[in-house]
Structure 1
Amino acid sequence: MAKQTERPAEPTSPAEPTSPAAARHPQPRSRTRPLYGQRTWPRSFADRLTAPLPGVGAMARLAREGAVRPGPDGLRGIPALPFEPGPLPEVDERTVAVTWAGHASWILRIGGLTVLTDPVWSRRIFGTPVRITPVGVRWEDLPPVDAVVISHNHFDHLDAPTLRRLPRRTPLFVPAALGRWFRRRRFTHVTELDWWEGAELGGVRFDFVPAHHWSKRTLLDTCRTLWGGWVLTDAEGRSVYFAGDTGYGHWFEEIGRRHPGLDLALLPIGAYAPRWWLRDVHTDPEEAVRAFTDLGARNMAPMHWATFVLSAEPVVEPLRRLRAAWERTGRPRHELWDLPVGGSRVLTV
């Protein structure tokens, strides 16, 4: 296959709706790709960056300020973090349900499939203290996993020890150029996608969409693989957007335009301080609410907080600020799914 150096093509016309729900949620407008198979990618995706990565001066400032973890007062809130594990909801092919396992790890039930997002079941990840809340669902309590989506290769989203627990034939949906990481670990059903590309598994469509972020896993691989979020849409047109890791910016409006009528947006609200350091790559709670508005989604569920201490804000601050920002919008409270770690919710249409 020819080297993929061009920008993703403009979306094709949406498919004709096949049901009342599909009429309410037109099919995603993006290029369809076959499942699995290997593709050739550019050596770098640095041209996809929304903002330049921090340079030596910024790193020196961060070292001087030492503001990389909360102070003692900020850590005292750990006992109050929401942790309420419960049984997974009963589902069928027409049910959409989500369970927050912690951080960016969700058990998403859609179209009869069980999908894991950025699964991290490890107690510790590289470069951080141990997790401050346990995993919300024990691994042995998971139903059979039908697919996994990965947003990017940072250690808090791509966890090798967790992935080793999966059968090597598990279907994996990953960003462009990240497939070789999985194939080296003997995974055989890997689908790599560029932005605005999608593939279908078991009647559920998996669309890869842009994010304001970056990628790096070793000293020498900065932006060698792509990053992004996922929109999953079932045969009835019900859709869930998983943002992965992202800063605030123009992509949210574009995602909402190409995927109108999103039923649920899973959006990050933590790891945002100091702001001058993390603004370009991590939304704060107020920006997450703004992103939700840009998307035009029906419901929002926050994530990427209350699990790992990755930055300097107090551990309980993200939820407090999120709820205040939500109240200012005047939207109904029931549209904010601020679940505890281990909590579940079923979508009603």
Structure 2
Amino acid sequence: MNHQTQQQSLTPAPDRTLAPTSLRPLAERRTWPRSFADRLTAPLPGVKALARFAREGAVRPDRSCMEDVPQLPFEPGPLPRTDADTVAVTWVGHASWVLRIGGLTVLTDPVWSRKILGTPARVTPPGVAWNALPRIDAVVISHNHYDHLDAPTLKRLPRETPVFVPAGLGRWFRRRRFVRVTELDWWEAAELHGVRFDCVPAHHWSKRALTDTCRTLWGGWVLTDRNGQKVYFAGDTGYGHWFEQIGARHPDIDLALLPIGAYEPRWWLRDVHCDPEEAVRAMDDLGARRMAPMHWATFLLSAEPVLEPLHRVREAWRAADRSRADLWDLAVGASRVIQKPGG
């Protein structure tokens, strides 16, 4: 997504990483600051950066790379059967997952639309047909950019569906008559039917209209079931210090869903999008056991070749001497299951 032109002054957010976290009530109404610009970890691009981008920045892959689109991995299949002790993930595409945990079915950043504002149509269809979904027990949203917060998709959900969003974003949902919206700040948590939802920091920003830059917060989510099994959904993020702090606060993450695409030109996107090597480095910071890459192979948001994120993440994984079995480089529509403890 495009950056705001205004330069922002940065004030570090309070470091509450290891402070005890009490659970917030579900659907609690709260008052938030007018701006979250103090949470930025890098300034948003100014006039000079925009001028450079206008001169040399590419926003889409070269035409020669588009011949690789038919090779993008697309393997839709049935959702795996699960129970309350089983964790399973199915990649719908981009940052959209069907996450089964603690007996719940959770959607992350659900985007089933063929096209979103400001980008070409998706190059792979959703890996799971909407009518093939079971009942959705909850939705988590990372931030308000159009490729992560899709109004036409969310309109399909019953308005009583529990929704977990970063601070300040609840108003958007309540305007659309969602009645069970839980807003959380970084390092806050709430619980739904035994599954804990922790909002954690990200290196990113927010904007949806001309005048709302950083008016709502952005972040990732750690979901934990009764057995202590944990899935970290990073949403959209650049690489930086938050990964180590998330790992310290949430040790023994079983699976990290990490973005690897939309990173070129690097000078323009470094602060807000990980490249594949940074995503693998983040695994060490997090102390996570497994990684499932996302945020590629769906929407062409930047200039890197279409298949490059997959090749680079595999090479970085090998270079880090990690077990190949722990890189879940799924095709769109594919699923993996974490067996229950002792299973």
Q: TM-score w.r.t. structure 1 length?
A: 0.92
Quick one: distance in 2 between partners of 1:184 and 1:331?
46
The question of whether the paired residues in 2 share the 8 Å contact of 1:151 and 1:244 is answered with yes
Return the offset for 1:37: 2.2
Is the 2:205–2:214 contact (alpha carbons within 8 Å) kept by the matching residues of 1?
yes
> Residues 198-347 of structure 1: matches in 2 within 5 Å?
198-347=189-338
Using the alignment, how far apart are the partners of 1:191 and 1:7 within structure 2? 22
Question: In 2, Cα distance between the equivalents of 1:173 and 1:66?
Answer: 35
Residue type of the alignment partner of 1:110: I
* Pair 253,11 (structure 1): closer, same or farther in 2 beyond 3 Å: closer
Asked if residue 56 in structure 1 is aligned to residue 72 in structure 2, the reply is no
Kept in 1, the 8 Å contact 2:17–2:249? The answer is no
Separation in structure 2 between the aligned mates of residue 255 and residue 102 of structure 1, nearest angstrom: 25
Change (3 A) 1:97 1:10: closer
Query: CA shift at 1:11, angstroms?
Result: 4.3
Of 101, 105, 109, the residue aligned with 1:114 is 105
For normalisation by structure 2, the TM-score amounts to 0.94
Aligned residue pairs total: 328
SS of the equivalent of 1:199 reads strand
- Counterpart in 2 of 1:147? 138
Give, in angstroms, the shift of residue 31 of structure 1. Answer: 3.4
Q: Which moved more, 1:240-249 or 1:34-43?
A: 34-43
Whether 1:130 and 2:124 are equivalent positions in the alignment is no
Unaligned runs of 5+ in 2: 1-12
More displaced stretch, 64-73 vs 304-313: 64-73
Moved over 6 A (4+): none
- Give the CA deviation at 1:10: 5.8
Alpha-carbon shift at residue 293 of structure 1 (Å): 1.2
Question: Take 1:67 and 1:217, find their aligned partners in 2: how far apart are those partners?
Answer: 22
Partner of 2:62: 71
CA distance in 2, matches of 1:275, 1:38: 39
1:186 is aligned to 2:186: no
Match of 2:26 in 1: 35
Flag structure 1 segments of 5+ consecutive residues without an equivalent. 1-5, 14-29
Say if 2:93 is the partner of 1:93: no
Contact 1:152 1:215 in 2 (8 A): yes
Question: CA-to-partner distance for each residue in 1:237-286, whole Å, 9 max, x for gaps?
Answer: 00000000000000000000000000000000000000000000000000
Shift of 1:100: 0.1
Asked if structure 2 preserves the Cα contact closer than 8 Å seen for 1:209 and 1:229, the reply is yes
CA distance in 2 between partners of 1:168 and 1:141 (Å): 19
SS in 2 for 1:286: helix
1:74 is paired with a residue whose SS is helix
Contact 2:105 2:136 in 1 (8 A): yes
Q: Write the distance in 2 (CA, Å) between the matches of 1:10 and 1:102.
A: 31
Matching residue's letter, 1:259: H
Give the C-alpha shift of residue 74 in structure 1.
1.8
Distance 2:228 2:54 in 1: 48
Percent sequence identity is: 74
1:26 maps to what in 2?
Answer: none
Structure 2 SS opposite 1:318: helix
- Per the TM alignment, residue 116 of structure 1 is displaced from its structure 2 partner at its CA by 0.1
Contact kept? 2:17, 2:246, Cα under 8 Å = no
Greater displacement, 248-257 / 68-77: 68-77
CA contact (8 A) 2:137 2:161 kept: yes
Q: Is the 8 A contact 1:8 1:196 kept in 2?
A: no
SS at match of 1:155: coil
